[in-house]
Every structure is written in C-alpha cells, then in structure tokens.
Amino acid sequence: MKLGAIKAAVAALVLAASPAFAQDRLLNVSYDISRELFEALNPVFAEHWKAQSGRDVTIEQSHAGSSRQARSILEGLPADVVTFNQETDVNMLAKGGMVAENWREAFPNGASPWYSAPAFLVREGNPKNIQTWSDLAREDVQVVFPNPRTSGNGRYTYLAAYAFGLRENNGDQAAAQDFVRRIMGNVPVFDTGGRAATQTFVERGIADVLVTFEAETRQIAAQYADRGLVSITPPVSLFAAFPVAVVEENAEKNGTTELATEYLTWLYSPEAQRVVAEGGNRTANEEVTAEFADQFPPVELLNVDEVFGGWDKVESEHFASGGILDQVFVNQ
C-alpha cells in the first residue's frame, strides 16, 4: 500500500512535469513476474508506433503482486493499461469504475493475449521423480509456492491442485479438499510473492519442487542454467489467462486512449506473440503457436469457468474469509 502510494506519487510527478509528452507516455501496470517479458516487448512496440504514427513513445512499467497493483490504481496510481494475471483484479477495477464492465469483449480471446498454466520446477535430474500433482501430495516431497493469500500465482497453484483433486476423485469435494490440504501441509514456507518463492527454492535450497507459471519455470531454469533445474509441465493443469484492459478513466485524463488501445491490440500481432512465446508463454495467435509447438509439451488445461463455475464463485466459495482455502490452508 505504501509502495503503491509512492509509485503513484512518482508517476504523477513525472506526468505533471511533462504535459507536452503526455500523449506519448504510457504506464503499464502489471504483475510481479512479467517484468522481463515487457522489457522485451516494449522496444518492439516503440518501433511499431514510430512507424505508424511517426512519434516516439515511452512505456513505463510497474510490477508487483497484481492485487496490490489493482488496489494502487484504485487509490490513484495513474495506470493507462493493466496487464494482469488474474481476472479478479481487473474485475475489482471494473467495480471501481476505472475499467469498462465488458472489458473481456474489448480484445480477442477474452482479452487475454497469451496464457500459461501452473507447472513445476524441480532440482537437477528430478531426484524425487515429480511428474504430476499427486506427487506433490506425497509424504516425502516438499513443495514451495507463494501464499495464495497474497499472490495471484499462489491462488492459481491452489486452484490447479484443487481442480486436479476434483478430477481424480470424480468431483468429490471432500476428497479434493483433503488432497489440497496434504499439498499445503508439504509447504515449509509461504512467501508473499512469486519472486520471493523462487529465491527460497533456488537460493536457499528449500524443498523439492517450486510451483509457478510454466513460463516462469522456463525462465528460472534458463537463468540458473548451472544448477540444472528442470521445468516440468504436468499432463493436467489449469488455464491461466493474462487479462489486459485499458484503464479508461486514466487514459482519457492522460489523453492516451488511442495509444493504450493500440498497445494492447498490438500484443496480439504475430510480431509481439513471438516475443511472448520466446518468454515461455503460450500464445493466442494460432500461427505463432504452431511455430513454437515443439517447445510446449501437450497439456490438458482445465478451465476455471467449467470446473468452478466462474471467478465470482471462486471468490465467494474459496477465497472469501473462512472459505474453502481457509479450511484447507489454516486447519491443517
């Protein structure tokens, strides 16, 4: 909250100090682990914008847990666009009147230019032979993922495990809860965000497996190539959309509506989608998906709408205080 306020103040100062450039400046507020992806995307977009409009553009990036980011925007962070990893957080902005109610229809694929799924990162040679979700519930396996209470990443992991539990037990809620409770019981430390969990797993050498988005597992494995970490995509996982939206209220104020819309539309272009795929994400563009097909192992992706009946239901049944998450997380 404090950080958000500071960021808001800084961004406001920057914007106020340079009114002449306001139209060529865009603040993209995003989630924690998309930093590198947008660092790769933004220069390519700047070229595209220059060619199209003859003008230079500066895209500012702000990264933190996406719920915290959504709150910062509600409290005044002048974001022009949001690129989140959770629909719930965009919905919060829609409820606050910052984003159009029908934001999902504003861009193709439910306003999700790419997607991923929770996957595993294991130590060299996969000594515990971890392949799928049921391995995480084994007594001899320790798991690390961020706190579902403070991280969208952690919530996806929880939901993916739950969805898998339901499927394995023919929809038996009690059995699924017991399954998730066993996995939660194998977690020695709950960090507050995805990057902190990575630190715990890689730098501190805690646990046998890290659960995070597939794209992130590949990036970490590449970054720590000397450790021989292995990225494993389980055969079944949960579809994780990365919803994008124009923050209309701010964009109008900043005079960036056109630029913001173009930026998000451009994310679907083959040019941008290739960068996205190289970052380890699964892309919306079929042509690019086909190009990178051999990099992505087949995975059956369960869907939040189908398994849980939509995000609103997930919120009220699982993540509300005293909900199912609290029952399996807290009453271990």
Task: Report the chain's C-alpha Rg in angstroms.
Answer: 20
- 30 CB-side CA count, 13 A: 21
The two structure tokens encoding residue 241: 């959309």
CB of 161 to another protein, least distance (A): 17
CB of 157 to another protein, least distance (A): 15
CB of 143 to another protein, least distance (A): 13
- Answer for the pair 219, 280: CB distance below 8 angstroms, yes or no: yes
The residue (of 263 and 319) whose beta carbon lies closer to another protein is: 319
3-class DSSP assignment, residue 25: strand
CB of 319 to another protein, least distance (A): 7
The two structure tokens encoding residue 283: 């892309």
Q: Using CB under 8 A, list all residues that contact another protein.
A: 1, 65, 67-68, 71, 92, 147, 149-150, 187-192, 196, 203-206, 319-321, 326, 329-330, 332
Helix and strand tally (H, E) in the chain?
Answer: 17, 13
CA–CA gap between residue 279 and residue 260 (Å, rounded): 22
**Strand boundaries in 135-203, DSSP class E:** 143-144
The residue (of 65 and 280) whose beta carbon lies closer to another protein is: 65
- 23: nearest Cα among 283, 246, 258, 222: 258
CB of 92 to another protein, least distance (A): 7
CB of 74 to another protein, least distance (A): 9
The residue (of 203 and 286) whose beta carbon lies closer to another protein is: 203
The residue (of 171 and 188) whose beta carbon lies closer to another protein is: 188
The residue (of 18 and 332) whose beta carbon lies closer to another protein is: 332
The residue (of 290 and 320) whose beta carbon lies closer to another protein is: 320
The residue (of 75 and 105) whose beta carbon lies closer to another protein is: 75
Instruction: List the strands of the sheet with 81-83, edge to edge.
Output: 58-63, 25-30, 81-83, 244-246
CB of 63 to another protein, least distance (A): 16
The most distant pair of C-alpha atoms in the chain lies apart, rounded to whole Å, by: 61
- 61: nearest Cα among 32, 10, 27: 27
